[in-house]
Structure 1
Amino acid sequence: MTKFYNEILCKLETAIQDLEIETDYSIQRIETVIDLIIKSLLELKQFVLAKGFKNTDDEIHFFKYQKPIIVAKLIYYNSVYKIEAKKPYGDKQIKKFLNKELFKLKKLFDNNIDFYKYYRSNNSFLNDKFFVRGKHDIRLWLDTFYFEADHRFSTSHDYKVAKIIANDLIQVYLEDQLNSNHTKISDNSSLNWTGSKTALIELIYALYAHGVFNNGNTDIKLIAKTFEDAFNIELGDFYHTFMELEARKINRTKFLNSLCEALVKKMDEQDEK
């Protein structure tokens, strides 16, 4: 399952990145992305229905950590599609509209605070009820959506996890829109990345692969955007850069290796004092 899932996710993210070379959120482009995600989910569903899972742990892992990543993309792009389609004219009207959308995210968070705490803290004592098909408990934070879903490919809470992941991305999108709606101070941070973009992308993917943010349940786009804002840098097509790193024959983690060497050297110098 994991190998097939990773292939589906990689193919999808590459296709989305190819479409996102342009920076604008055109309605037509978003429609194309949504169609790609739906097709990917259909492939995944067909595989699950045909192959099933080796055991309950595999099923929990899929519905808690894997399927929600792709469903979150669908929720995110569908939300962006609706926002772009409904966005009013005029700076003041746009600002009011975007702030209202941010308030909706906060309200959703407040209404689901117990499950957010369970998920964000990486608890597992209710996993057999939340992420195993046919094991729902109506007393445990159920959405009406679950009763309309195909229970062969859904659990009571995998969609709720996807909403959490998607809402992080939607918040970043809305805040970006608000920032672009007024003049920004160019030097909003005292820290500027002065190394190469390739080095930073290598670091970002290493942190992403190690799962150090939100227990490993954070989209790579969100991590990259956070680093861009923090260090006043535009990474551009970071997916393509990562693929170039993958294609290296030797020393694929050149920057990370140099970091280790620099840290060990610093420690040795401290010991000599």
Structure 2
Amino acid sequence: MTISCFSRNKYDIKLSLDTFYFEADPNFSTSHDYKAAKIIANDLIQVYLEDQLHKTVYKEKSTNLPKLNWAGSKTALTELIYALHAQGAFDNADIKIIAKTFESIFHIDLGDFYYTFMELKNRKVNRTKFLDSLRDALIKRMEEQEEE
């Protein structure tokens, strides 16, 4: 296709014009506007269909799992998120991304988790209360299973 096919009032009849060209206003359209528009439209349809397919597959995978709702306090979840971030458990992920992911997974709104973390830092006694209770509960379960 030559450049002239995108110039008004200039067309090369050998470039197989669509019949649409003869109905279009030559002062407004070029000889191959319609073909270019069809190509762009088909590309956009492909992107849309792939996106819908991805959403359908993802939805099917996620609907097989039961929904988890966080039963603990928001402060406890914030403590856990910051502990996992401090440990580097998520490949250098930003704390905000980790928090938003946990909010989505557990169907909870943490609100201003930065402020909650500041409150955790200002605790006078047992700054990691939730993490300590997790550790104690795990050790207790292990000991109970050893006794069986």
Decide: shared fold, TM above 0.5: yes
SS of alignment partner, residue 205 of structure 1: helix
1:167-206 correspondence to structure 2 within 5 Å? 190-206=67-83
**Corresponding residue number in structure 1 for 2:87:** 210
Contact 1:189 1:231 in 2 (8 A): no
1:222 aligned residue (88, 97, 117): 97
Structure 1 residue 265, shift from structure 2 partner: 0.3
Q: How big is each residue's C-alpha offset from its partner over 1:106-158, in whole Å with a ceiling of 9 and x where there is no partner?
A: xxxxxxxxxxxxxxxxxxxxxxxxxxxxxxxxxxxxxxxxxxxxxxxxxxxxx
In 1, the alpha carbon distance for the partners of 2:141 and 2:115 equals 33
Match of 2:37 in 1: none
- Deviation for aligned residue 1:250: 1.3
Is 1:265 matched up with 2:140?
Answer: yes
Which of 253, 257, 260 aligns to 2:128? It is 253
Matches within 5 A, 1:99-248: 190-214=67-91, 217-248=92-123
C-alpha distance in structure 1 between counterparts of 2:66 and 2:89, whole Å = 23
2:38 aligns with none
The amino acid across from 1:260 in the alignment is: R
Equivalent position SS for 1:249: coil
**1:189 positional shift:** 5.4
Instruction: For 1:200 and 1:226, locate their aligned partners in 2 and report how far apart those are by CA, in whole Å.
Output: 12
Query: Percent identity at matched positions?
Result: 65
Q: Which amino acid aligns with 1:192?
A: N
Q: Please report the TM-score for the alignment, with normalisation by the length of structure 1.
A: 0.31
Preserved contact between residue 203 and residue 256 of structure 1 (Cα < 8 Å): yes
Q: TM-score, normalised by structure 2?
A: 0.56
Q: C-alpha deviations, 1:163-209, integer Å up to 9, x for none?
A: xxxxxxxxxxxxxxxxxxxxxxxxx9511101000000000000000
Which stretches of structure 1, 4 residues or longer, exceed 2 Å deviation after superposition?
none
Deviations 1:224-268 (A, max 9, x none): 000001111010000000000000111000000000000000000
Gaps of 5+ in 1: 1-95, 104-187
User: Could you say what secondary structure the match of 1:212 adopts?
Assistant: coil
